[in-house]
Amino acid sequence: MNQAETHMYDKFRETVRPVLKSKLEEFELYGYDSVKEDELWKFLKNKKWRKEKEEKLLYQIVNDILSVKVGDYMNYATVEAFKAPNWFEGEGKDVLEKLL
């Protein structure tokens, strides 16, 4: 999904912000305090709600947020990190050569 595209559930983001914060607090209890609200929202859009055809009701969106498991999010984050551009190409390669 293109980052510029809006998702059908983006209109609910402000409404469910307290639920997102609650889920992030749960992540912190498990030691994952570096997860940001934007990252969790991106996970929900790209994984949980990727193939949504019909619009969900607010309580269903809240349930989706509360049912996110730390392991599922971390698996997603790991895969996304591997998809990121190689740090040692282009400008990163120049920096690496200077360090060596």
Write the pLDDT tens digit of every residue in 13-66. Answer: 999 999 999 999 999 999 999 999 999 999 999 999 998 888 999 999 999 999
Other beta carbons within 10 angstroms of residue 66's beta carbon come to 13
In a domain, 2, yes or no: no
The pTM of this model reads: 0.78
In a domain, 71, yes or no: yes
Q: Which domain holds residue 51?
A: 10-99
Structure tokens at 65: 């947020």
In a domain, 4, yes or no: no
